[in-house]
Amino acid sequence: MRLCSGVLLTLVLLGCTPSAPGNTGVYMLLDTSGTYREELQKAEQIIRYTLSRLDATDTFAVARIDTGSFSEKDIVAKTSFDDRPSAINRQKRLFAEQISLFVSKSDSSPYTDITGGLLQAVEFLNEKGAGRKTILIFSDLKEDLQDGYVRDITFDLDGFEVIALNVTKLRSDNVDPREYLARLEQWQTRVEKSGGEWRVINDLDGLEGLL
Amino acid sequence: MTFLLNITPWPVLSALLWIVLVVTSLYFARPTAHNAIRAAAATLHRTFRLASTGVRKAEGRLAQRNREVLLAAGREAKERIIEREFDRVNETVRKDLANYSALHRALSESINRIESDHQAAVDVPPDPPGWVKAVEAVAKIDSREGRVGIGNVLSDIHKSLVKAHQEAMVAYHEASAMRHSYLRKMRPEWRQIQQTLGQVGKSVDSLLGRSVTIDRHMQDYEDIISGQDRAVSVLSSSSLVYFFVSALVLLVAAGGATINFSLIARPMAEMVGGTSLIGGFRTADIAALVIIMVEISMGLFLMESLRITRLFPVIGALPDKTRVRMIWITFTILLLLATVEAGLAYMREVLLHDELATSALLRGDATDGLTGQYLWITTAAQMGMGFILPFALTFVAIPLETFVHSLRTVLGLAGIGLLRFISLLLRLLGNACRYLGSLVEQLYDLPLFVPLWLESRYGGEAGRSGKRPLREART
């Protein structure tokens, strides 16, 4: 009898032992510089799609890219979903409302600090301890730093997937497409050297493989 | 290989030399080799035959055991049926024939009443009319006394005759009316007697029918007790039929349980969380499964307490008072669980609408899923299913009992079949080994055809007699 009780207790304890986290952490960076701000409507669609794909205990944060993006103040909305379905739905609706408000009222920023935003994303997702970490960069990937900002920093992207979304071509890219290709290659090299995976999705109608 | 062919300067000669050497060696070793092959084949043959015999015996024991189990199960089932038949007879006797004395008294009273009414209704012959005496008086008057007054007398007689006739008619009519009233009173009595006798007839017919059924069951029971092959055969086929039928019903019940599970698993996440795991399974799923299992267990106990099934003899043997208490307790728990399930089913619908609304909002769809005015139908249907399914699952106990009982027999039959197959296989292998030994002997002799031919040609009687044992061994 004692043996049976012991075996049962062990099984229950083993069953309750927390396994490796199976949740997803998504951090999305929104470029609000210059004319790219007009693309934010598309970003809102992507955010809504992302919200529909996320589930209990997942984490989602949306932050803007501005002059100095390595700051918590740039986080527009963030949430870690509850494990009760009704609470998750409430959180999703609230998140969508916050994003709608941001898209309608956000200002254009004069500079673009993508690296700072990326650092902030890495820090945020590492802190949340998500099992699968994804950073979405909604930007044309043209970094434009204000004088004095140091962003020549290496970061650890091991276990991260970085997805560039809607990487639009600039006027200068049309004149010399090599600039566009070089820009993409530079970011890919940077991410992959840091241990991360790199993907580009420009066709926003095909978001099925996003998460 | 090269070395072998280089023992002489000519490889062909070397090869020939080797062939001669090998054939000669094989020829001289032939009796020993044949004996070894024969011994090996015989050993394998005997081993397989022995194993086959052992398996056949095990099959026999299993068959005997299965027969005993089958007969015991059949006896128990027949006892239950006969017991139930006797209960029914007892019920019929108690209900219909227990008041037979009252019935008899009622019949006797009715018959007495009819008899007295009949006596009263007897047609009494009318009295002779009074004028006959008057006629006699007139006839006796002598003519000498004068016949003058006869006319007056006759006139009086006529008058009195008419009067008497009228009175007699009135009396007769009154008597007839009285008799008819008696006869009218007799009609309901006749009907009552007819109805009463009809009831008695029905009861007696029912009893006769039951007695025929009991006779039939008793005959089967006697066959089972005496262990007749026919009874075993009937029980075996019945057992197979019960097994498949109960398995089918259990499959249907499993379908019902699955539907029940899907009704409550989702809202369970609202209670115990949607992400926690126990042993790799979601806690919400386990909780839903546990609820269903508890419902099935309660159903089993309820059926046991009602003595519909007999899976747990302890429950059946409980005192009636405790058993009735148990019925009420299990029923109350079932009712509570059914109510909980109905609530969870409602919660599921609410969650589904909430999720649909959120999805519609995220899609940017203005017309969300809450516009349907008939959604209450699905909600009510889900709640109804959530409430009914626990009670429906209660009846799983009946096919489960049949399944468990018939499973023993079916497993026994399957075991017998398997053992029979193994026995046959072993016998086949034994015989195959025996004939394989003969084949190997023949193959051994194949390269020795030259010395064997020479032996048969020039070896004389010794050579020929040397072959005899081999042939004998083969046959």
User: Are residues B391 and B422 both part of a single domain?
Assistant: no
Mean pLDDT, chain A, rounded, equals 83
Nearest-angstrom CA–CA distance, B162 and A54: 123
In a domain, B272, yes or no: yes
Give how far A176 is from chain B: nearest CA, Å. 38
Q: Write the CB contacts of A174 (distance below 8 Å, at least 6 apart in sequence).
A: none
Burial B118-135 (b: 16+ CB within 10 A, else e): eeebeeeeeeeeebeebe
Nearest-angstrom CA–CA distance, B111 and B184: 15
Mean pLDDT, chain B, rounded, equals 83
Nearest to A24 by CA among B456, B356, B275: B275
The pLDDT of B332-344, averaged and rounded, is 93
User: Are residues B194 and B270 both part of a single domain?
Assistant: no
Nearest to A54 by CA among A37, A79, A73, A29: A79
Interface touch B276/A86, C-beta < 8 Å: no
Q: Indicate if the pLDDT at residue A27 is higher than 60.
A: yes
In a domain, B226, yes or no: no
Interface touch A45/B279, C-beta < 8 Å: no
Nearest-angstrom CA–CA distance, A15 and A18: 8
Residue A5's pLDDT is 56
Nearest-angstrom CA–CA distance, B461 and B450: 18
Residue B148's pLDDT is 59
B366 touches chain A (CB under 8 A): no
The pLDDT of B357-369, averaged and rounded, is 74
Q: Indicate if the pLDDT at residue B303 is higher than 60.
A: yes
Interface touch B275/A56, C-beta < 8 Å: yes
Which is more confidently placed, B371 or B215? B215
Q: Indicate if the pLDDT at residue B310 is higher than 50.
A: yes
Nearest-angstrom CA–CA distance, B49 and A79: 76
User: Are residues B260 and B387 both part of a single domain?
Assistant: yes
Chain B contact probe: residue of A14, A82, A84 with most B CBs at under 10 A: A84
Cα A136 to chain centroid distance, Å, stands at: 4
The pLDDT of B390-405, averaged and rounded, is 91
Residues pairing with B293 in the sheet: none
Q: Indicate if the pLDDT at residue B263 is higher than 50.
A: yes
Res. A9 pLDDT band, cuts 50 70 90: low
Q: Write the CB contacts of B434 (distance below 8 Å, at least 6 apart in sequence).
A: B41, B42, B44, B45
Q: Indicate if the pLDDT at residue B130 is higher than 80.
A: no
**Smallest CA–CA distance from B274 into chain A, residue:** A83
Residues pairing with B403 in the sheet: none
Provide the 8-state DSSP code for B438. H
The pLDDT of B36-47, averaged and rounded, is 94
The CA dihedral of B200, B203, B209, B215, to the nearest 10 degrees, is: -100
Q: Indicate if the pLDDT at residue B252 is higher than 90.
A: yes
Of A95-104, B51-60, B321-330, B357-366, which gets the smallest average pLDDT? B357-366
Residue A125's pLDDT is 92
Tell me how many domains chain B contains.
3
**Smallest CA–CA distance from B272 into chain A, residue:** A84
- Is there a contact between B337 and B264 (Cβ–Cβ < 8 Å)? no
Nearest to A143 by CA among A36, A46, A45, A44: A36
Interface touch B354/A16, C-beta < 8 Å: no
Place of tokens 């007749």: B228
In a domain, B5, yes or no: no
First to last CA, chain A: 49
- Is there a contact between B463 and B455 (Cβ–Cβ < 8 Å)? yes
Q: Write the CB contacts of A176 (distance below 8 Å, at least 6 apart in sequence).
A: none
User: Are residues B378 and B430 both part of a single domain?
Assistant: no
- Is there a contact between B48 and B430 (Cβ–Cβ < 8 Å)? yes
Nearest to B369 by CA among B345, B349, B346, B344: B349
User: Are residues B254 and B338 both part of a single domain?
Assistant: yes
Nearest-angstrom CA–CA distance, A127 and A122: 8
Nearest to B305 by CA among B320, B329, B327: B327
CATH ID of A20-201, from 3.10.450.50, 3.30.365.10, 1.10.3720.10, 3.40.50.410: 3.40.50.410
Q: What DSSP string describes B384-419? A: HHHHHHHHHHHTTHHHHHHHHHHHHHHHHHHHHHHH
In a domain, B104, yes or no: no
Q: Indicate if the pLDDT at residue B383 is higher than 80.
A: yes
In a domain, B323, yes or no: yes
Q: How far is CA A203 from CA A137, A141, A208, A210, in A?
A: 14, 16, 11, 11
> What are the pLDDT digits (tens) for A51-74?
988 888 899 999 998 888 888 888
In a domain, B408, yes or no: no
Strand A160-165 with A132-138, pairing: parallel
Interface touch B363/A48, C-beta < 8 Å: yes
User: Which tokens go with B90?
Assistant: 């007892």
The pLDDT of B88-100, averaged and rounded, is 77
Res. A8 pLDDT band, cuts 50 70 90: low
Task: Determine what percent of chain A is predicted with pLDDT higher than 70.
Answer: 90
Tell me the residue length of chain B.
Answer: 475
Residue B471's pLDDT is 45
Residue B133's pLDDT is 63
Q: Give B170's Cβ-side CA count (13 Å radius).
A: 6
3-class secondary structure per residue, chain A = CHHHHHHHHHHHHHHHCCCCCCCEEEEEEEECEHHHHHHHHHHHHHHHHHHHHCCCCCEEEEEEECCCCCCHHHEEEEEECCCCHHHHHHHHHHHHHHHHHHHHHCCCECCECHHHHHHHHHHHHHHHCCCEEEEEEECCCCCECCCCCCCCCCCCCCCEEEEEECCCCCHHHHHCHHHHHHHHHHHHHHHHHCCCEEEEECCCCCCCCCC
The pLDDT of A13-26, averaged and rounded, is 65
Nearest-angstrom CA–CA distance, B57 and B51: 10
3-class secondary structure per residue, A35-75 = HHHHHHHHHHHHHHHHHHHCCCCCEEEEEEECCCCCCHHHE
Q: Indicate if the pLDDT at residue B472 is higher than 50.
A: no
User: Are residues B300 and B377 both part of a single domain?
Assistant: yes
User: Are residues B329 and B294 both part of a single domain?
Assistant: yes
User: Which tokens go with B346?
Assistant: 């409602």
In a domain, B233, yes or no: no
Indicate the residue of B274, B277, B359 with minimum beta-carbon distance to A85. B274
User: Are residues B151 and B49 both part of a single domain?
Assistant: no
Nearest-angstrom CA–CA distance, B9 and B323: 105
Indicate the residue of A12, A23, A89 with minimum beta-carbon distance to B354. A89
Task: Determine what percent of chain A is predicted with pLDDT higher than 90.
Answer: 27
Residue B443's pLDDT is 93
Of A186-190, B7-11, B117-121, B218-222, which gets the smallest average pLDDT? B117-121
> pTM (2 decimals)?
0.64
Phi, psi of A137 (to 5 degrees): -115, 110
Domain spans, chain A: 20-201
Residue B435's pLDDT is 94
In a domain, B118, yes or no: yes
Q: Write the CB contacts of B264 (distance below 8 Å, at least 6 apart in sequence).
A: B288, B291, B292, B341, B344, B345, B348, B386
Residue A104's pLDDT is 86
User: What three-state secondary structure class fits B242?
Assistant: helix
Give how far B364 is from chain A: nearest CA, Å. 8
Q: Indicate if the pLDDT at residue A89 is higher than 70.
A: yes
- Is there a contact between B334 and B303 (Cβ–Cβ < 8 Å)? no
Q: How far is CA B176 from CA B115, B121, B170, B280, B297, in A?
A: 18, 8, 10, 101, 78
Window 62-101 of A: residues touching B by CB (8 A cutoff) are 83-86, 89, 92-93, 96
Domain range for B364 is: 242-395
Q: Which residues of A touch B266 (CB under 8 A)?
A: 85
User: What three-state secondary structure class fits B282?
Assistant: strand
User: Are residues B373 and B440 both part of a single domain?
Assistant: no
